[in-house]
């Protein structure tokens, strides 16, 4: 096993005992834990070119994940496509790339985190039930991986989630509890039950394994870009685990000497729920209080008080990134623009194009720089958000 | 260019002039054309092991496709996952594999055919508008690829298609005409307009290019199975181009000496529209008249009078396959079973598991044989078909 310890991202304390235990948060300060590896030892044993010869799947860099290959729980995770804007759009946006994680199992990037966490449960021999608060996509990804190996999944969802998300979780075998309020209320409800029922809590940012899945995405991207990463990455951000995981991956790649440049991480939120943007603009170290009346069509961005906000803000500042808010109406326009390129981007993901467009309009977009828009999920689950324009269909 | 001629699958006549022309059907008998290659020359120039070293994408065996690599129109087509049933299901179904084409652009296997046909249009410099009759997924695949390079797409759809399919096509940039009746009526409506407006008709089985996309799927499968293909492949079949393309691929692989065994091709239809099953059971050479009152939740299987039925029946007989019909209620049950494995199978695709289950119940399933269920598309577009079971969600 290549993990040597878990370090708290808040107080810096190490959690020494690792083997055999499903880690959650820092026992001292409840901060998010980040797994630490002996990177040099891994790359001494397996040089980069040996990794490169393996198949292009999520599991390619398994030595940098906290699991042994015999414990992998897989639903089929080939490298997701890296695309360039087609020519017509490319005229306006040169050097812009798209990473399409909508092709992963269950249609979103959440599969990365859940593939790792469920495999870890297998490795530890934990055959307890698992539980999560989720607005939809984290829950469906968990349900898919966990159900496939026979674990029971309990999901706590805000009761106003779209029926399609609810159905999806139920058909994947999850037991769903609907909760008044938002994701934070769902998390609270889960806390009340989990000890009583002995559930394993795999909440966002409250265990160190899901970050590692997004970290694998960083390794995948680096190889796809031939180890010369873009200058900027736009990433839609609710709870922030995706961007934290990417950043962790880039730091490890840099420490390994496999990449020279770490991209600026530009997080995008909806102006209807932008606590991280507000904190960033006020130069605060964390989100101090929940966003009031959060309202956005991008359900994954409706996180009024992200648990690891301090860490997301650190990621932005350390990489000289940004935090941007875009309007829901611009998100819808960007979904449409993506469709016209043949790309299915969910609302959260479409926010990245809205942000890039905003930056360009404000004159802050350098078209000589390489830029990546990270598509975190497919539009296929969201046709209900698109209004029907009857002018475009008529009887022959 | 490696294509040497196009041969009619019905009367056997060769269409000699190939270069520069977008081929449709046999000028003599209107049969479906199949492209012929100098296979020996290709494999002499590029041996199998050289192909194997390339990236695992749809375009890996480009020399066996009728296009040059510089004309590829891509939306990102990595090899789609080949999975085994998880253990709990594997107990009942040993040696059963799943090929998940729901991960392709637009979420269905139709992307294979459309990637080839749209690339071919680019290669020929055809910048005319393209048109297609479709119940949904062929249209969206065409619209995605064609829109991405600025071609106009005209779609003729039965007017009772689910609104989500209609919206999808419109947002992908297609101009949609709604037609009274079914896919055959949509095809008729298209015929009335296409010459007047100069549209390129890319209808199912009425041009030889889309078959080549499914053929690439055959090469992909063969390599994934290390050139030792399964004994049986279950494939959902409406118009039949998928299974025709697969068969063409297997024949070429066999001629190349790259595989020894061609799988039995077992086509699956809904009992609400099973013209191919009826013709197969009556030992007919083709579907003689349209299926009356076709009715099934699997829109892609609602093809009452398939254009190339004679060829599908030949494929079944030549490979010692079968044609099976399954009930819609069993299709829904199989969608649910797939969900519990973490697999998103559209109704058409779920029919394969229903057929396998039926065969097993009838005692005709040999569990020692290797069997593949071909998932032609994702369930994500079909949540509306799944009834909500309120017992499973309750307030916390």
Residues 90 through 119 of chain A touching chain B, CB cutoff 8 Å:
100, 103, 105-107
pLDDT single digits (tens) A353-371: 999 999 999 999 998 999 9
Inter-chain residue contact B74 with A88, CB threshold 8 Å: no
Residue A142 has pLDDT above 70, yes or no: yes
* Least confident piece of the model among A70-84, B21-35, B379-393: B379-393
pLDDT single digits (tens) B215-234: 999 999 999 999 999 999 99
Residue from A144, A171, A191, A336 to probe the interface with B (highest B Cβ count within 10 Å):
A171
Q: What sign results for the dihedral spanned by CA atoms B126, B129, B135, B138?
A: positive
Inter-chain residue contact B392 with A175, CB threshold 8 Å: yes
Residues 16 through 55 of chain A touching chain B, CB cutoff 8 Å:
55
Look up tokens 């249009």; give the residue: B121
Alpha carbon distance, N-terminus to C-terminus of chain B:
64
H-only helix segments in chain A: 39-45, 48-52, 87-90, 110-124, 137-148, 163-171, 183-197, 209-224, 241-256, 275-281, 309-318, 328-340, 347-361
Inter-chain residue contact B386 with A77, CB threshold 8 Å: no
Residues 178 through 207 of chain A touching chain B, CB cutoff 8 Å:
178-180, 189, 193
Q: Does B338 touch chain A (CB under 8 A)?
A: no
Q: Which residues of A touch B148 (CB under 8 A)?
A: 86, 340-342
Q: Strand B33-37 and strand B3-8: pairing?
A: antiparallel
Q: Are A180 and A159 in contact (CB under 8 A)?
A: yes
Confidence of residue A91 (pLDDT cuts 50, 70, 90): low
Nearest CA in chain B to A158: B395
Nearest CA in chain B to A77: B81
Residues 351 through 390 of chain B touching chain A, CB cutoff 8 Å:
378, 380-381, 383, 386, 388-389
Phi then psi dihedrals of residue A86, to 5 deg? -65, 160
pLDDT at position B144 is 97
Q: How far apart are CA B327 and CA B171, in angstroms?
A: 33
Give CA angle at B343 (B320, A175), nearest 5°. Answer: 140
Nearest CA in chain B to A393: B176
Residue from A380, A387, A395 to probe the interface with B (highest B Cβ count within 10 Å):
A380
Residue from A76, A146, A180, A199 to probe the interface with B (highest B Cβ count within 10 Å):
A76
Inter-chain residue contact B175 with A392, CB threshold 8 Å: yes
Å from A286 to nearest chain B CA? Answer: 30
Q: How far apart are CA B38 and CA B44, in angstroms?
A: 10
Residue A160 has pLDDT above 90, yes or no: no
Helices A209-224 & A110-124 angle (0-180, nearest 10): 130
Q: Which residues of B touch A168 (CB under 8 A)?
A: 383
pLDDT at position B20 is 80
Q: Are B130 and B121 in contact (CB under 8 A)?
A: yes
Q: What percent of chain A has pLDDT over 90?
A: 84
Size of interface A-B (CB pairs under 8 A): 172
3-state secondary structure B36-93: EECHHHHHHHCCHHHHHCCCCECCCCHHHCCCCHHHCCCCCCECCCEEECCHHHHCCC
Q: What percent of chain B has pLDDT over 70?
A: 95
**Partners of A84 in beta bridges:** A97
Q: How far apart are CA B352 and CA B343, in angstroms?
A: 13
Q: Name, in order, each residue with C-beta under 8 angstroms of B195's C-beta and a sequence gap of 6 or more.
A: none
Q: What sign results for the dihedral spanned by CA atoms A277, A278, A279, A281?
A: positive
Mean pLDDT of chain B: 93
How are strands ordered across the β-sheet holding A3-8? A14-15, A3-8, A33-37
Report which of A374, A130, A149 is spatially closest to residue A242, judged by C-alpha positions: A374
Confidence of residue A69 (pLDDT cuts 50, 70, 90): very high
| Residue A45, burial from CB neighbour count under 10 angstroms (0-12, 13-18, 19+) | exposed
Instruction: At B159, list the tokens.
Output: 């007017």
Inter-chain residue contact B163 with A388, CB threshold 8 Å: yes
Q: Strand B264-270 and strand B322-326: pairing?
A: parallel
Q: Are B113 and B144 in contact (CB under 8 A)?
A: no
Å from A105 to nearest chain B CA? Answer: 8
Confidence of residue B85 (pLDDT cuts 50, 70, 90): confident
pLDDT at position B286 is 98
Q: Does B133 touch chain A (CB under 8 A)?
A: no
3-state secondary structure B139-166: HHHHHHHHHHCCCCEEEEEECCCCHHHH
Residue from B380, B384, B387, B389 to probe the interface with A (highest A Cβ count within 10 Å):
B380
The alpha carbon torsion through A105, A33, A186, A300 (nearest 10 deg) reads -50
pLDDT at position B3 is 78
Residue A396 has pLDDT above 60, yes or no: no
Q: What is the mean pLDDT of residues B141-161?
A: 94
How are strands ordered across the β-sheet holding A130-133? A200-201, A130-133, A153-158, A175-179, B393-395
pLDDT at position A289 is 95
pLDDT at position B126 is 84
Residue A119 has pLDDT above 70, yes or no: yes
| Residue A11, burial from CB neighbour count under 10 angstroms (0-12, 13-18, 19+) | exposed
CA distances from A35 to A7, A9, A67, B344 (A): 6, 10, 12, 32
* CA B282 to chain CA mean position, Å: 25
Q: What is the mean pLDDT of residues A60-88?
A: 93
Report which of A385, A382, A347, A375 is spatially closest to residue A102, judged by C-alpha positions: A375
Residue B1 has pLDDT above 70, yes or no: no
Confidence of residue A316 (pLDDT cuts 50, 70, 90): very high
Q: Which residues of B touch A78 (CB under 8 A)?
A: 56, 78-81, 103
* Least confident piece of the model among A75-84, A149-158, B66-75, B161-170: B161-170
pLDDT at position B90 is 65
Coil, helix or strand at residue A313: helix
Confidence of residue A389 (pLDDT cuts 50, 70, 90): low
pLDDT at position B4 is 80
Q: What is the mean pLDDT of residues B258-269?
A: 98
Q: How far apart are CA B245 and CA B297, in angstroms?
A: 25
| Residue A104, burial from CB neighbour count under 10 angstroms (0-12, 13-18, 19+) | buried
Q: How far apart are CA A196 and CA A100, in angstroms?
A: 40
Q: Are A194 and A201 in contact (CB under 8 A)?
A: yes
Q: What percent of chain A has pLDDT over 70?
A: 95
Q: Are B276 and B288 in contact (CB under 8 A)?
A: no
Å from A276 to nearest chain B CA? Answer: 29
pLDDT at position A127 is 78
Checking phi first, is residue B245 left (phi over 0); if not, alpha (psi -120 to 50) or beta? alpha
| Residue B129, burial from CB neighbour count under 10 angstroms (0-12, 13-18, 19+) | middle
Higher pLDDT, A263 or A184: A263
Q: Does B226 touch chain A (CB under 8 A)?
A: no
Q: What is the mean pLDDT of residues A159-168?
A: 88
Q: Name, in order, each residue with C-beta under 8 angstroms of B80's C-beta and a sequence gap of 6 or more.
A: A76, A78, B99, B100, B101, B102, B103, B104, B220
Inter-chain residue contact A378 with B107, CB threshold 8 Å: yes
Q: How far apart are CA B257 and CA B260, in angstroms?
A: 7
Q: What is the mean pLDDT of residues B95-115?
A: 97
Residue A16 has pLDDT above 60, yes or no: yes
Q: Are A12 and A32 in contact (CB under 8 A)?
A: no
Q: How far apart are CA B252 and CA B42, in angstroms?
A: 12
Whether the model pTM is above 0.80: yes
pLDDT at position B395 is 57
pLDDT at position A164 is 84
pLDDT single digits (tens) B326-370: 999 999 999 999 999 999 999 999 999 999 999 999 999 998 999
Q: Name, in order, each residue with C-beta under 8 angstroms of A230's C-beta and a sequence gap of 6 or more.
A: A97, A263, A369, A370, A371, A372
Mean pLDDT of chain A: 93
Å from A228 to nearest chain B CA? Answer: 19
Report which of B279, B225, B276, B270 is spatially closest to residue B249, judged by C-alpha positions: B225
Q: What is the mean pLDDT of residues A207-219?
A: 97
Residue B396, CB-side half-sphere exposure with 13 Å CA sphere? 24
Q: How far apart are CA A262 and CA A271, in angstroms?
A: 27
Inter-chain residue contact B167 with A380, CB threshold 8 Å: no
3-state secondary structure B203-244: CCCCCCHHHHHHHHHHHHHHHHCCCCCCCEEEEECCCCHHHH
Residue A322 has pLDDT above 70, yes or no: yes
Confidence of residue B394 (pLDDT cuts 50, 70, 90): low
Residue A228 has pLDDT above 70, yes or no: yes
Instruction: At A290, list the tokens.
Output: 């929940």
CA distances from A389 to A23, A338, A393, B168, B202 (A): 50, 17, 8, 11, 26
pLDDT at position A392 is 54
Q: Does B175 touch chain A (CB under 8 A)?
A: yes
CA distances from B334 to B339, B342, B349 (A): 8, 12, 9
Residue B249 has pLDDT above 60, yes or no: yes
Q: Are B302 and B290 in contact (CB under 8 A)?
A: no
Higher pLDDT, B256 or B20: B256
Q: What is the mean pLDDT of residues B124-150?
A: 92
Confidence of residue B315 (pLDDT cuts 50, 70, 90): very high
Residue from B383, B390, B394, B395 to probe the interface with A (highest A Cβ count within 10 Å):
B383
pLDDT at position A59 is 98
pLDDT at position A387 is 77
């Amino acid at each position: 096993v290549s993990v040597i310890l878990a370090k708290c991202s808040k107080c810096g304390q190490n959690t020494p005992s690792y083997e055999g235990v499903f880690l959650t948060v820092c026992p001292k300060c409840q901060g998010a834990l980040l797994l630490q590896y002996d990177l040099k030892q891994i790359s001494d044993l397996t040089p980069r070119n040996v990794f490169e010869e393996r198949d292009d799947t999520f599991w390619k860099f398994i030595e940098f994940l906290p699991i042994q290959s015999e414990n992998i729980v897989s639903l089929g995770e080939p490298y997701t496509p890296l695309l360039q804007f087609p020519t017509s759009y490319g005229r306006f946006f040169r050097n812009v790339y798209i990473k399409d994680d909508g092709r992963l199992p269950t249609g979103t990037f959440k599969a990365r985190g859940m593939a790792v966490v469920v495999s870890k449960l297998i490795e530890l021999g934990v055959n307890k039930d698992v539980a999560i608060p989720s607005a939809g996509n984290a829950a469906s990804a968990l349900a898919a991986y966990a159900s496939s190996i026979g674990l029971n999944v309990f999901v706590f969802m805000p009761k106003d989630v779209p029926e399609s998300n609810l159905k999806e979780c139920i058909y994947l075998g999850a037991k769903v509890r609907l909760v008044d309020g938002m994701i934070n209320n769902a998390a609270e409800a889960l806390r009340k039950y989990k000890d009583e029922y002995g559930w394993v809590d795999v909440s966002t940012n409250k265990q160190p394994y899901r970050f590692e899945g997004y970290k694998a995405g960083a390794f995948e991207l680096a190889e796809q870009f031939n180890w010369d990463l873009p200058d900027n990455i736009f990433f839609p951000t609710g709870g922030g685990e995706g961007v934290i995981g990417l950043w962790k991956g880039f730091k490890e790649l840099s420490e390994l000497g496999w990449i020279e440049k770490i991209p600026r991480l530009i997080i995008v939120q909806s102006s209807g729920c932008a606590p991280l943007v507000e904190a960033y603009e006020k130069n605060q170290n964390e989100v101090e209080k929940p966003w009031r009346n959060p309202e956005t069509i991008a359900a994954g961005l409706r996180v009024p008080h992200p648990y690891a906000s301090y860490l997301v803000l650190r990621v932005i500042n350390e990489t000289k990134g940004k935090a941007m808010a875009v309007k829901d109406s611009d998100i819808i326009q960007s979904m449409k623009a993506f469709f016209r390129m043949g790309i299915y981007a969910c609302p959260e993901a479409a926010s990245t194009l809205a942000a890039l467009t905003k930056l360009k309009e404000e004159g802050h977009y350098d078209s000589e720089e390489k830029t990546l828009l990270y598509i975190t999920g497919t539009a296929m689950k969201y046709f209900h958000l698109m209004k029907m324009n009857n002018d475009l269909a008529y009887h022959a």
